[in-house]
Amino acid sequence: MSTEPQVEGTLSVTDSRTGQTYEFPITDGTVRATDLRQIKTSDDDFGLMTYDPAFMNTASCRSAITYLDGDAGVLRYRGYPIEQLAAKSTFLEVAWLLIHGELPTAKELEGFEKQIVDRMVVQAEVGESIKAFARNAHPMGILEAGFGHLSTLYPEAKQVESGPERMEAIINTIAKMPTIGAMAFRHNQGKDIVAPDPSLDYSTNILKMFFGADYEVDPRLVRALDILLILHADHEQNCSTSAVRAVGSSQVDTYSAVNAGIAALYGPLHGGANEAVLVMLREIGSADNVSDFMDKVKSREALLMGFGHRVYKNYDPRATIIKGACDDVFEVTGVNPLLEVAVALEATALADDFFIQRKLYPNVDFYSGLIYEALGIPTEMFTVMFAIGRAPGWVAQWLEMIQDKDQKISRPRQIYIGSGERDYVEVSAR
Ligand code: CMC
């Protein structure tokens, strides 16, 4: 596959305002928005722009990382189907794949795993600053603060043009995301921080840092957690990844760019949806109440959280895999009673015209919360789990962006609709 844009044809456009015809190259099934600037009514006209407030039809980059076909329900990282990665790979192997573009050799993987677990430890001063937060502070807020803190502890990460500094920040981001998340969790619970143990693997460390050094780790739960993290690892230009790219394009350090992703993920329409799903399932309470809740959704009083996606107009392939993982987890933990509500909701929605017409299917968040809950992770921590999983995607996309010769500082245009020039009025005269 050529990485340079190939001209596939041209687009002819006639401007009815001037009668002039223009011809623009089509590359990658796309026209360059800046080409449209040639379309002017006069020399001092700025030129034609496109209006796309939610980036519904705008490619913001050329990327070789993740392929997503929303109509067919296909997701691949660097060409590898998500189903194969979830069945055969590990989270850290997938992280390497996303960052470097190829699966690691056994030696590369071993070295990478060691580098990551060795860096999971977080400076004591971050732990001290977390103590200043209220006991009930949302862990995503604490995670944002933690990454702000890391940015000050690694001033060398400002050298975004340096390959070694970039890799250092990338490894630190993946390594320290769960540790700061665990610190937030322990703080919320009024418990002491549990330090990571470099002799243990990454996912086992996460469970131990959450639940205590004495926590008996069942390998089936570690594997389920690893699968969940793989499924969340990247999803091309979603809201948080776009935020990381946009903020990173200012050449701020990696930790600050990643912080933009954490903030975006916090929102209920993005990563916060897994938390909202559990709140919704608890409110519904029993499968008998599903039909009443559906009436509310259809009369626009509620959203069916965990359903719908900007890109998937088919079953989200990650939701299928998670549904399968639920069985493995519940075999160890016992069935989460809310599963019955979720299954009834899904069946009702998939048979309902409202959802069929709008192509609304379960997304990754619909079942993930049930697993997290079964693992003993409280609802407020669900989005933190998503952030831990998404960290490799953020840094891989950040790295691709920072190395992209087409990338300049991200800076959209606007259509100004405010008042024309007017004179200031003294306060006494208003
Ligand atoms: N429940 C009920 N109606 C819905 C839902 C839903 N979950 N999602 C979309 N619709 C309706 C929406 O009201 C609209 O109807 P109409 O055309 O009659 O006005 C139509 O479906 C199209 O929806 P949209 O809001 O224009 O679609 P969007 O691409 O802007 O939004 C979404 C995508 C994910 C924000 C939205 O589907 C949603 O709010 N879902 C619930 C929240 C959720 O589960 N988010 C997690 C997304 S996946 C993980 C992630 O990427 O973070």
Contact partners, residue 120, CB within 8 Å, separation at least 6: 175, 176, 178, 179, 196, 198, 202, 205
Identify how many contiguous H helices and E strands the chain contains and give both numbers. Answer: 17, 5
Full-model pTM: 0.92
pLDDT at 368 over 70: yes
For tokens 């001037």, the residue is 18
Q: What pairs with residue 27 in β-bridges?
A: 7, 30
The answer to whether the CB of 73 falls within 8 A of the CB of 315 is: yes
The answer to whether the CB of 113 falls within 8 A of the CB of 92 is: yes
Average pLDDT over residues 147-162: 97
The answer to whether the CB of 238 falls within 8 A of the CB of 390 is: no
Tokens representing residue 355 in the block: 């959802």
**Nearest residue to 276 (alpha-carbon basis) of 306, 311, 252:** 306
For tokens 């009834």, the residue is 344
**Residue 268: per-residue pLDDT:** 86
**Residue 2: per-residue pLDDT:** 53
**Nearest residue to 179 (alpha-carbon basis) of 153, 208, 156, 221:** 208
pLDDT at 207 over 90: yes
Residue to mutate, 232, 234, 310, 354, ligand 1, most ligand atoms under 8 Å from C-beta: 310
d(CA 208, CA 210): 5
pLDDT at 1 over 80: no
Classify each residue of 147-178 as buried b or exposed e, where b means 16 or more C-beta atoms within 10 Å of its C-beta. bebbbeebeebbebeeeebbebbbbbbbbbbb
- List residues near ligand 1 (CB under 6 A): 238, 269-271, 273, 297, 303-310, 358, 360, 363-365
- Model confidence at 275, in pLDDT bands (50, 70, 90)? confident
- Model confidence at 336, in pLDDT bands (50, 70, 90)? confident
**Residue 139: per-residue pLDDT:** 97
d(CA 86, CA 429): 68
The answer to whether the CB of 149 falls within 8 A of the CB of 125 is: yes
Tokens representing residue 59 in the block: 């490619």
Average pLDDT over residues 169-185: 98
Residues with a known catalytic role: 270, 309, 365
Q: Taking the domains of the chain in order of start, what are their residue ranges? A: 1-59, 80-230+239-266, 273-374
For tokens 């998500």, the residue is 82
Nearest CA owner, ligand 1 atom 45: 269
Residue to mutate, 363, 366, 386, ligand 1, most ligand atoms under 8 Å from C-beta: 363
pLDDT at 271 over 80: yes
CATH of 273-374, one of 1.10.230.10, 3.20.20.140, 3.90.1640.10, 3.20.20.80: 1.10.230.10
Nearest CA owner, ligand 1 atom 52: 270
State the amino acid at position 131 in one-letter form: K
**Residue 352: per-residue pLDDT:** 95
Nearest CA owner, ligand 1 atom 30: 310
DSSP 29-90: TB--GGGGGG--SSTTS-------TT-SS------SSEEEETTTTEEEETTEEHHHHHHH--
The answer to whether the CB of 219 falls within 8 A of the CB of 237 is: no
CA of 243 to the centre of ligand 1 (A): 20
- pLDDT tens per residue, range 69-110: 999 999 999 999 999 999 999 999 999 999 999 999 999 999
pLDDT at 160 over 60: yes
- pLDDT tens per residue, range 102-116: 999 999 999 999 999
d(CA 220, CA 374): 13
CA of 305 to the centre of ligand 1 (A): 8
Domain 80-230+239-266: assigned CATH number: 1.10.580.10
The answer to whether the CB of 368 falls within 8 A of the CB of 229 is: no
State what percent of residues in the chain have pLDDT above 90: 86
